[in-house]
Structures are given as C-alpha cells and as structure tokens.
C-alpha cells in the first residue's frame, strides 16, 4: 500500500541567524570531531569547515556561503538553527476534533480564547451539546454525520480553514499557556524546511497510580531533549495531540484509513518528501490518562496493533528492533551466553571507532569514550525494543532451565531501561510490564489480522529513508 502524497519542500535555503549545539553533541579537538545527534554519529570537519564552525560557536552570524555546511549539520541533528523569532500567531487555524467530550472541549476552548478555532464534531451522539459548547466559545463548528476517526476529522477541519499554519490539538490536552506554546511551535517553522513542530506531551498530574505513571512514562512523552525527528532515532515521530503543520506541506493530509497511527504516518511521509520535523522538549502540554484500567489497556493494545497498517505503508521502518553489524554481534553473543565472542565483538567495534578517528585524535581515551557512548546508545535501547515487542516470548523462554537466566536478564534490562533516570516504585515497574505486554499483544494481533509480519521482523543495517538515500545520490 503506497502512502498518501505530501507536498515537496521549497528549494531555497534560508540562512539561519545562528546555531546551537544539540544537547547530545560533543566537540573535541577544536571541533574537528562532533559526536551526538540521533541516531548517534561521529562527524569529522576539515580545516575550513572547522574554522567556520568555531566562528559560529563564538557567536558570529552565518553567511550565505555557510548554508551548505549548516544545513548538513542541521539535518544530522548535531546543531539546531536559530531564526528570527516569530511572535505572530494570527496565521494559525486551530483544529480540534471531538466526539461527545463536552467537558474537556469547554476547558480547552477557554484556554484557546483569542485564537481562530474550528471544532470538528466527529459523529457525536449528543451533537447539540457539542454545538452549544463550540458556539458559546465563539468557535466555528464542522459537523460530521458519522464517526470517521481523528484523521478524517482533522482533514475536515483543514478543508474549512484557510490560514497558512494549522494547529491540531486533541480535546483532552491541557495547554495552560496557549500563546506561549503556539509561539514556540511557530518559531520552529522560521526554518523554511521545517514542515511541523510539536511540544513535549506529558501525562496530566494526579494522585492515582495510573496518573502518576502517565506523568513520567506516557507513551506520547518523547523526553526533555529537543531536536529533529528522525526515522530510527530517539524521536522517530511526534504525536498529533498537539502539532503545528504548514498547510502547504500537508498534501493529501492525514490517512483516513488509519484510526490509530495516522500521526506517525503523516510525519514519516513529510520526512520522506524532504521536510524536517522538530520536537521542542522545552515546551510541554498535558494529556490525560485514560479514565479506566480497561481503557488504558485498550489504548496500549491499539498503539501496538497500528504497527501492521504502518508497515503496509512504510515497510521496514516499523521494524521493532534495528541492529547494525556491531550491535547484532554483541547482543546475540550476550543472549547466547558467549561472553568471549561478545568481548571480541566489542573489541572489533572499538577498532572500527579508532580507525574512524582522525590520526591526531587516535588516543585510547578518545576511543574509549566514544565506545562507551556507542554501547550505551545501542545495548540498552536494543534490549528495550526486544522486550517492548517480544516480551511475552522472552518470558516464555525463561521456562526452559537452560535459557532462564539469560531470558530473565534480558527482560529485566529491557524493562528497567525506561526507568534508568527516574525514581520508581514497585507499582511503576508493574505498570511498565503491563504497558509492554499490552503493546506486544497489539503488535502480534495486528500482524495476525493483516497476515503481514513486517511489524515483527527485525531490521539489520541503517535502513535509511527513501529521502536520505536520494540525498546521498
């Protein structure tokens, strides 16, 4: 199944007013080497590029001749551009899809006072109540006679609006300071190649176990670091719960055949077309947890099940685990209990890193630092990815005495990796396991129904997007 089309980005390359290093980026030897980004990489700069980069870090403005180098570093997620801040949000059309949730709609419309808001009633059972709420807040109302899903509702809102920027907001999102959120997201679109931007989405604060878990470990929360969205990176997509998009980038809009995962599909289509998508972790909004345990579980299963439909459109991009040759050798050796082979694989990786360094940087300390970064950025996330999709199989393998110790170790590492930077309770860990199991069951159920194992098949190698390969050529 071919993904729906989106528009192509402009060919002009606007010059940023400045740059800043990504939070993960580290420079060494006067910026001869830059490491970081997502996926993690090592970038070597020649003498001329290094001098230019040092000048940028010292605060000098970028010149038109600097665009090619700046754009390469921006696209790799190593630096972020600064453009003139846009404090004008009058070019925004806000689109809010809703179905019967009048209480949340009233609260959200109160927060959006002063914005041009279009409410799309997606087949509500009590349509008059939704209409009264929207009209009472001065919002435009678009009524769909039957429930068609969030993608179709957003598309209907797009069709009834005209401003150049669209701000999609889910009805159960709390903004607190709508103008601050809007200004920050619009500012990212000062870069003409950025098609969309999104804030951090955290669970709403609350005292119940489910609310406390969502506050720290919401599936929509992509963390505090800001940066580019990159397929296969730490930020592989951004959710549409709060998303600003250029109208002229949308093309055919959201895929209405997708009830879940329509936001992932849109972001990947934008990336493949050559657009950039930015995530602003410094700005956050709140998204409420599901009201009941059953609804919470069903949400996780639905997220997992959406992988099958995404796989039909985007192929191996939905692979649950991505391993390059080094990571594959190390992880499979550890899983098999072959410690000597795993040690040799680590030495082999260290040799690759050492040879990739400039001659003047080939020191044991530099190689060791980069090796540690590489291992931390692959082993833990790989175990996490395995447990996220194959967790029930890993636990089943623990029944066999010969596999028990390794299977339990893998399950523990994959489960606890998400909690590595948090203080957690036994309840948090239990919910984390339930979250992973529900998601895994959803992935397997979706694959069985679609009779397609793409979402269950690991990918070996970098698996670049079509756009990345096109740029390389």
**CA atoms of 389 and 437, how far apart (whole Å):** 8
- pLDDT tens track for 371-387: 777 776 677 888 899 99
- pLDDT tens track for 241-300: 999 999 999 999 999 999 999 999 999 999 999 899 999 999 999 999 898 999 999 999
Q: Is the pLDDT of residue 344 over 50?
A: yes
The answer to which of 65-79, 264-278, 361-375, 429-443 has the lowest mean pLDDT is: 361-375
How is residue 307 written in tokens? 């992988």
pLDDT attached to residue 353: 73
Give me the chain's average pLDDT, please: 87
Domain boundaries, the chain: 18-82, 92-289, 378-466
Q: Tokens 């009233």 appear where? A: 106
**CA atoms of 270 and 453, how far apart (whole Å):** 25
How is residue 468 written in tokens? 């990345």
Alpha helices in 224-324, H assignment, sequence order:
262-273, 293-314
Alpha helices in 322-378, H assignment, sequence order:
325-335, 339-356, 364-376
Q: Tokens 């934008």 appear where? A: 270
pLDDT attached to residue 465: 40
Does 115 or 3 have the greater pLDDT score?
Answer: 115
pLDDT attached to residue 34: 82
Angstrom distances, CA of residue 55 to CA of 9, 44, 60, 62: 29, 17, 6, 9
Does 54 or 443 have the greater pLDDT score?
Answer: 443
CATH class of segment(s) 92-289: alpha beta
Whether 332 and 471 have beta carbons less than 8 Å apart is answered as no
How is residue 11 written in tokens? 């060919």
> Residue 464: pLDDT band by 50, 70, 90 thresholds?
very low
- pLDDT tens track for 415-431: 999 998 888 899 999 99
Q: Is the pLDDT of residue 359 over 70?
A: no
The answer to which of 73-87, 161-175, 235-249, 440-454 has the lowest mean pLDDT is: 73-87
82-105 mean pLDDT = 87
Q: What is the dihedral of CA 277, 253, 5, 246, to 10 degrees?
A: -40
């Amino acid at each position: 199944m071919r993904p729906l089309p989106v528009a192509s980005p402009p060919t002009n390359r606007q010059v940023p007013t400045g740059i800043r290093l990504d939070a993960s980026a580290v420079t060494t030897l006067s910026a001869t080497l830059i490491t970081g980004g997502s996926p993690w990489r090592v970038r070597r700069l020649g003498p001329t590029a290094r001098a230019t980069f040092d000048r940028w870090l010292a605060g000098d403005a970028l010149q038109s001749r600097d665009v090619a180098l700046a754009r390469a570093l921006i696209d790799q997620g190593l630096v972020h551009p600064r453009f003139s801040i846009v404090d004008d949000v009058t070019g925004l059309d806000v689109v809010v899809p809703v179905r019967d949730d009048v209480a949340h709609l009233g609260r959200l419309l109160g927060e959006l006072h002063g914005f041009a808001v279009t409410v799309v009633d997606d087949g509500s059972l009590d349509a008059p109540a939704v209409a009264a709420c929207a009209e009472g807040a001065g919002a435009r109302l678009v009524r769909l006679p039957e429930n068609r899903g969030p993608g179709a509702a957003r598309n209907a809102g797009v069709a009834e609006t005209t401003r150049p920027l669209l701000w999609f907001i889910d009805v159960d999102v709390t903004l607190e300071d709508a103008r601050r959120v809007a200004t920050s997201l619009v500012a990212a679109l000062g870069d003409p190649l950025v098609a969309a931007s999104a804030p951090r989405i955290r669970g709403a604060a609350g005292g119940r176990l489910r609310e406390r878990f969502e506050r720290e470990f919401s599936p929509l929360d992509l963390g505090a670091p800001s940066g580019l969205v990159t397929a296969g990176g730490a930020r592989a997509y951004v959710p549409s719960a709060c998303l600003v998009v250029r109208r002229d980038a949308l093309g055919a809009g959201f895929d209405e055949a997708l009830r879940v995962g329509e936001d992932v599909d849109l972001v990947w289509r934008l990336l493949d077309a050559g657009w950039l998508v930015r995530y602003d972790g410094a700005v956050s909004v709140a998204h409420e947890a599901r009201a009941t345990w059953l609804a919470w579980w069903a949400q996780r299963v639905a997220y997992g099940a959406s992988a099958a439909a995404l796989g039909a459109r985007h192929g191996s991009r939905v692979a649950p685990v991505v391993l390059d040759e080094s990571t594959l050798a190390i992880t499979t050796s550890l899983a098999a209990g072959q410690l000597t082979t795993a040690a040799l694989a680590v030495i082999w990786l260290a040799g690759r890193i050492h040879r990739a360094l400039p001659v003047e940087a080939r020191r044991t300390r530099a190689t060791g630092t980069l090796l540690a970064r590489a291992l931390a950025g692959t082993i833990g996330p790989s175990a996490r990815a395995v447990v996220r999709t194959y967790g029930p199989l890993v636990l089943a393998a623990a029944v066999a005495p010969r596999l028990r110790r390794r299977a339990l170790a893998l399950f523990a590492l994959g489960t606890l990796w998400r909690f590595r930077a948090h203080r957690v309770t036994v309840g948090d860990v239990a919910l984390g396991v339930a979250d992973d199991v529900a998601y895994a069951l959803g992935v397997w159920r979706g694959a069985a129904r679609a009779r397609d194992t793409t979402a269950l098949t690991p990918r070996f190698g970098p698996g670049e997007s079509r756009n990345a390969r096109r740029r390389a050529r």
